[in-house]
Every structure is written in C-alpha cells, then in structure tokens.
Amino acid sequence: MDQEAMRLGFNKTIVQGTEFKHVAYTNKAQNNNEELHVYLDGDGTPWINNRWVSKDPTPRNPLLFRLMTLDTAPAVYLGRPCYNGFGDIPPCEPTLWTDKRYAPIIIKSMAVALEQILKPLGTKRVVLIGYSGGGTLAMLMAEQVQNLQGIVTIAGNLDIKAWSSLHDYTPLMGSKNPAEQPPLNPALFQLHFAGGKDQNIPVSLIQPTVLHQHDARLIVMPEFDHSCCWEKIWPLLLSNIQHYATSRNIKMLRFDYRHY
C-alpha cells in the first residue's frame, strides 16, 4: 500500500481514532473545492481461502486508490483500525476484522479519525465514498460525521445478514447492519451503484436497503461486476456529484449509465 501510494503521489499520515491508529493517504489536489471526498475501502483480506484468519487484512489491490487518482477534488483514503500494519498492535485482535468488522467500536474510531483530519480543513463539506464493505462503513458512520453532504456507495454491502446467508458465511456477530438501522437524515444525498453481474453483492441485496432510505438512488451498471469496471465511469460520476447534491434530480447525472 505504501509503495503504491508513493507511486501515485499520495501523502501518508497516521491519525489517532479512539484507541486505534489509522493510516490515511491524501491526494495532492490544489483546487479550492469546498468538498472533501473520503474514500472507505472494502474488507480487504480478513480470511485466507475462507478458512484461516488473516494476520493482515489490508487490501492487496485497492480499487479505491485507482479511483482516487482520477479525483481532482481534495480526497483522503481513510484506513480501518488494525489495517495497514497495525494488526498485531494491541488492542487489535482478529475479531475486529472478522466478526466485528462493523462493530460500534470500529465505527466510532473511524469517525473520530476523520474528525482529526477535518480539524485543520475548516468547514469543508464531506462526501463519504465507500466500496463494498466500505459502503457498509459509510452508512454506519453517517450520523457521526460533521458537515456530511452525502454518501456514494459502489457495490456496497448494505445488508450484511442477507450477504452472509447468501454465501453461507458465519453471521458477523457483533457487527451493525445498515439494513437494520433507521433511515439516514433526508438532508443527505445518497447514490448507490451496483453491478448487474456482481455475484458477491448482487443488486437484490442492495435494493431493499436503498428503498428503505429517504430519496436514495440505486443505479445499476448492467455489465459491471464487483470489481470491474468502476474506473470507467468514475470521472463522469465525480463531475456529477455536486449537480445531484444540489438538485436531487437523477436526470442531472450527465451520462447514460444504461450504455456502460
């Protein structure tokens, strides 16, 4: 991760959450955009071959790094507790990236770490951008993030109970489930993207939670799967986030997603 961040020109910082430390990578956007895009990655590698608990759950091939390189707005990749080299440092222990990966203690530390990042930036509006399990975190963190403008999820795991059942995984005991939480503040905009060919988190798992929210939008990319080909639409999507946030009109998304 550090080598890739260096290659892409990102800056690395260590941020204190609650009792956990977090690694954050920031881009070098020089514009005066009043928004800060906060990228939250997927679960990485909590298990090896679905049998053995990993000693280091850090993502091996972070899609969000590639998306962040396309972002001309100020952006930060916020790592999770116990990821990025902190897995063997107390109070980290394996349940925090397996069963309790979305536990209140994780959500709180992520929110506190983000607060530390925001302090020197003033009153920037925040957009949480979560991929896969990062979409879970975005939904669960929302009520604890100041100046939050909206949420964008990509192949987001918005119902962890249904997801575990679909794959015959052990339920994530101790984790919060976005599908079981009250709807978020209607003042927030929500855009949820799903891949029509995603077999990990299919559209059918995402749709009920989106329908439960206030004025949230689900956009299905028919030919995309869980990891491909989100870079293809990312520059267009970024250029439209502010338009949609202002108007809440799906027609303000200035590309025909049906053709992708």
- Average pLDDT over the chain, rounded to an integer: 90
- Residue range(s) defining the domain that contains residue 94: 2-259
Q: How confident is the model at residue 227 (pLDDT cuts 50, 70, 90)?
A: very high
Number of domains observed in the structure of the chain: 1
Confidence check: pLDDT of 28 > 70: yes
Q: How confident is the model at residue 242 (pLDDT cuts 50, 70, 90)?
A: low
Write the DSSP symbol of residue 166. H
Task: Work out the average pLDDT over 227-232.
Answer: 91
Q: What percent of the chain has pLDDT over 90?
A: 74
Judged by DSSP in three states, 145 sits in coil
pLDDT digits 0-9 by tens, 34-52: 789 999 999 999 988 878 8
Task: Work out the average pLDDT over 84-104.
Answer: 95
Question: Residue 120 is part of a domain; what is its CATH number?
Answer: 3.40.50.1820
Tokens of 136: 């879970």
Contact 129, 230 (CB under 8 A): no
Task: Work out the average pLDDT over 175-198.
Answer: 95
Distance CA 105, CA 150 (A): 23
Nearest Cα to 65, choosing from 187, 179, 231? 231
pLDDT digits 0-9 by tens, 14-23: 999 999 999 9
Distances (CA, A) of 62 to 4, 45, 124, 144, 186: 9, 11, 25, 25, 31
Please give the span between the terminal C-alpha atoms of the chain, in angstroms, as a whole number: 30
More confident call, 191 vs 258: 191
Q: Which amino acid makes up residue 236?
A: L
Tokens of 109: 């530390």
If you write DSSP's letter for every residue of 148-162 in order, what string do you get? Answer: EEEEEEES----HHH
Indicate the helix (H) or strand (E) that contains 208.
Answer: helix 203-212
